Each structure stands twice: as structure tokens, then as C-alpha cells.
């Protein structure tokens, strides 16, 4: 199984503990300080601007082989002409080769449906998504909307209506929600659990992430991760650097 870093949304240049952990995991996996990190900006309304923000963070942490993977969902969003040409790249063999050559992939946040609409084509995996599944010893990280699509089930809310869809299955254990304390989403997660086959769900607080590595799940950085059991609605909190039993 690949290593996952599933994070909060508001990473800043002067507050990059989660990115540092992501880089450390890649170096341990690749047994080298010379690593390749690709940024996938599909979820963003401003793909290049968002990607360059993260590229600057990686460069500041002495990771210089950083590339933007040009895959976006282009539909009524403000993109440049260059960016609008990226909309079919999830089926590109060139892009697939790029994914297979990297050591780590960082997905930006924003809107999870842009990811699902882009990486699935006619209800089938695109070449890019299959490459992510195929690549061995890959460290995959990302924030916010990206966290929502890591489980087999994705929580999506539109105009107050809760929807549950099946998606990436990179995190095969529990359903995931985030921005929990800030947006008071306990009821949302409890309702979502009743619509899935999972017995557990968990939420990630702001300024917090979980790392799945070698079947060990660890909380990193500032606040907490909370585990909710479906049947009796038992709630347990895990704080920074605690291990969660899977």
C-alpha cells in the first residue's frame, strides 16, 4: 500500500509541518534526498497560482525537482487559455509516464467533484488514476477536498443535501470528513455512516493531518482526529503524534 498524508486545508508558507512530514516520508521511501514531487491542481479554481504556491513551499524545504501535472477540470471556471488545454490530460500517456516516474504527489484542495469528474471517464478509471494505483512506494498527500475522496465513500453536500458517492479507495478503512470543529459536522458524519458499509468514520480538525504508513495510522501536528463508531455513536479523540489502531 502507498503512504498517504491526509491533511487540513490551510497550509501556509510559514506553517508547513505537514509538508515537512510529507517530504520526510518520501525521502525514507526513496532512500534518497533527491526526490521528485509532482503537484496535481485539479480541484483548484486557480490551478497555476495554487500549484506555484506549493512549489515555493517545497523549494523552501530544499525540494527542487517539483513539477505541476497539467490535469484540471475545466467547466465555467476562470482559467487561462493554457490551463483550459489541460482538461483531457487525465487520459494522456505522457502524463501517465510522469506520474509513474515521481516519488510523491501532492493534491491541492478546493472542490472534490473536480477530481472525481476528471479522474473518472464514463464511470471508468482514467489512465492517470490507474497510474496512481499502479505506482509502488508512492507517497500521496493533499488537503481538504482531496481528503474527501480518499475513502471508498465520499461525503458531498450541496444546497444542504447530503450525498454519498463511491470514489478513490486509496484509504480503504473508514469514511473521512474534515473541517470538523470549524464547521460543526458531527451530525453530517453520523448521517453519512448510515449510508455506507463502514462501521467507523473520522474527522480531521484544522491544522491537523493523518499519515497512513505501513498500516500504521498516526496523527500529526496541531489539534486532533476524532473517530466515530456507527452502531453506538461512540466518539474517541486522538491528538498529535498519537497512533490510531486500524
- CA gap 5, 237 in Å, rounded: 19
Q: Is the pLDDT of residue 76 over 60?
A: no
Residue percentage of the chain with pLDDT more than 70: 88
**In contact, 137 and 4? CB cutoff 8 Å:** no
d(CA 15, CA 20): 10
In angstroms, the Cα distances linking 233 to 78, 189, 203, 236 are 42, 10, 14, 10
Q: What's the grid cell of residue 157?
A: 453536500
Render pLDDT for 209-243 as a digit per residue (tens, 0 to 9).
899 998 889 998 888 888 888 877 778 889 888 89
Angle between helices 127-134 and 93-100 (to 10 degrees): 20
**What would the mean pLDDT of 72-84 be, rounded to a whole number?**
60
Q: Quick check: 196 and 173 in contact, CB under 8 A?
A: no
Q: Per this entry, what is the length of the chain?
A: 246
Cβ atoms of 193 and 231 within 8 Å: the answer is no
Bridging pattern class, strands 3-7 and 139-143: parallel
pLDDT for 18-34, tens place per residue?
Answer: 899 999 999 999 988 89
Amino acid at each position: 500500500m502507498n503512504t498517504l498524508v491526509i491533511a487540513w486545508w490551510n497550509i501556509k508558507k510559514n506553517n508547513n509541518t505537514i509538508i515537512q512530514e510529507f517530504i520526510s516520508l518520501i525521502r525514507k521511501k526513496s532512500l534518497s534526498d533527491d526526490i521528485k514531487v509532482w503537484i496535481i491542481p485539479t480541484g483548484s479554481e486557480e490551478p497555476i497560482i495554487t500549484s506555484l504556491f506549493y512549489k515555493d513551499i517545497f523549494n523552501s524545504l530544499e525540494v527542487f525537482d517539483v513539477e505541476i501535472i497539467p490535469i484540471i477540470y475545466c467547466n465555467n471556471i476562470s482559467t487561462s487559455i493554457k490551463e483550459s488545454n489541460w482538461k483531457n490530460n487525465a487520459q494522456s500517456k505522457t502524463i501517465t509516464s510522469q506520474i509513474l516516474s515521481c516519488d510523491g504527489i501532492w493534491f491541492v484542495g478546493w472542490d472534490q467533484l473536480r477530481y472525481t469528474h476528471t479522474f473518472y471517464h464514463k464511470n471508468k478509471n482514467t489512465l492517470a488514476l490507474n497510474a496512481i494505483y499502479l505506482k509502488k512506494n508512492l507517497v500521496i498527500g493533499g488537503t481538504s477536498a482531496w481528503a474527501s475522496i480518499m475513502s471508498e465513500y465520499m461525503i458531498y453536500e450541496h444546497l444542504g443535501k447530503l450525498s454519498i458517492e463511491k470514489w478513490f479507495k486509496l484509504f480503504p478503512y473508514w469514511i473521512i470528513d474534515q473541517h470538523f470543529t470549524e464547521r460543526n459536522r458531527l451530525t453530517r458524519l453520523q448521517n453519512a455512516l448510515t449510508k455506507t458499509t463502514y462501521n467507523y468514520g473520522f474527522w480531521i480538525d484544522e491544522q491537523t493531518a493523518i499519515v497512513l504508513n505501513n498500516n500504521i495510522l498516526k496523527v500529526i501536528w496541531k489539534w486532533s482526529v476524532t473517530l466515530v463508531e456507527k452502531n453506538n455513536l461512540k466518539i474517541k479523540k486522538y491528538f498529535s503524534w498519537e497512533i490510531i489502531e486500524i
